[in-house]
């Protein structure tokens, strides 16, 4: 599955947030957007996730235009924001239940159990989101994003708020592929 960004522009009134960004992420590749605060990284991720519409340009997720065919594009994608947006009155497990219902998943419980273990959330399973630390909230958001086994995950500052062990777990969860030897 590829992600293609062609001449992406995003403006807010007269303010130019992103001007003419183009790139392609091929299957198996990992891309990091790096730059100073205000460079348009989050704006780009929000547009790819279908949360903010581009002012101009074309954004394709697995061949689906995020503006023309948003449901198909979003079905193969997950977006995890830098600030986890959880429901304070839902437990960790109820967040997984909500995501499973949202994506109409069948047989999702074993995957959710795996994610609880992998993200070290087993002991927090019945805790309300409002009771969780920022790092734990980030882990819940990552687990919710990964529940439907998306073909691509957009992570906006995924290590923010995580302790060293959580950072290691997060890095281990990002699959990497061997790079070809240099010529």
Domains plus CATH for the chain? 1-75 (3.40.50.300), 84-152+159-174 (3.40.50.300)
**Can you tell me the mean pLDDT for 49-77?**
95
Q: pLDDT at residue 29 above 90?
A: no
Q: Are 158 and 171 in contact (CB under 8 A)?
A: no
Q: pLDDT at residue 39 above 70?
A: yes
pLDDT of residue 176: 55
**Can you tell me the mean pLDDT for 146-172?**
85
pLDDT of residue 179: 46
Nearest to 153 by CA among 167, 170, 166: 170
Q: Tokens standing for 45?
A: 């991720």
Distance CA 104, CA 83 (A): 25
Q: pLDDT at residue 174 above 80?
A: no
Q: pLDDT at residue 183 above 70?
A: no
Q: pLDDT tier at 170 (50, 70, 90 boundaries)?
A: confident
Q: pLDDT tier at 175 (50, 70, 90 boundaries)?
A: low
DSSP-derived 3-state class of residue 31:
coil
Q: How far is CA 98 from CA 93, 137, 153, in A?
A: 9, 15, 19
Q: Tokens standing for 73?
A: 């594009």
Q: pLDDT at residue 95 above 70?
A: yes
Q: pLDDT at residue 90 above 60?
A: yes
pLDDT of residue 178: 46
pLDDT of residue 55: 97
Q: pLDDT at residue 177 above 60?
A: no
């Amino acid at each position: 599955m590829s992600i293609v960004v062609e001449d992406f522009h995003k403006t807010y009134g007269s303010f130019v947030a992103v001007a003419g960004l183009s790139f392609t992420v091929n299957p198996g590749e990992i891309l990091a957007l790096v730059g100073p605060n205000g460079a348009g990284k989050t704006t780009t991720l929000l547009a790819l996730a279908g949360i903010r519409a581009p002012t101009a340009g074309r954004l394709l997720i697995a061949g689906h235009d995020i503006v023309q065919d948003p449901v198909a594009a979003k079905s193969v994608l997950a977006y995890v924001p830098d600030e986890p947006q959880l429901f304070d009155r839902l437990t960790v497990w109820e967040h997984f239940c909500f995501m499973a219902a949202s994506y109409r998943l069948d047989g999702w419980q074993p995957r959710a159990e795996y994610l609880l273990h992998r993200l070290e959330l087993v002991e927090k399973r019945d805790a309300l989101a409002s009771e969780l630390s920022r790092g734990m909230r980030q882990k819940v958001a990552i687990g919710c994003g990964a529940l439907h086994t998306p073909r691509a995950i957009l992570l906006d500052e995924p290590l923010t708020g995580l302790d060293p062990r959580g950072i290691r777990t997060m890095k281990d969860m990002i699959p990497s592929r061997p790079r070809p030897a240099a010529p």
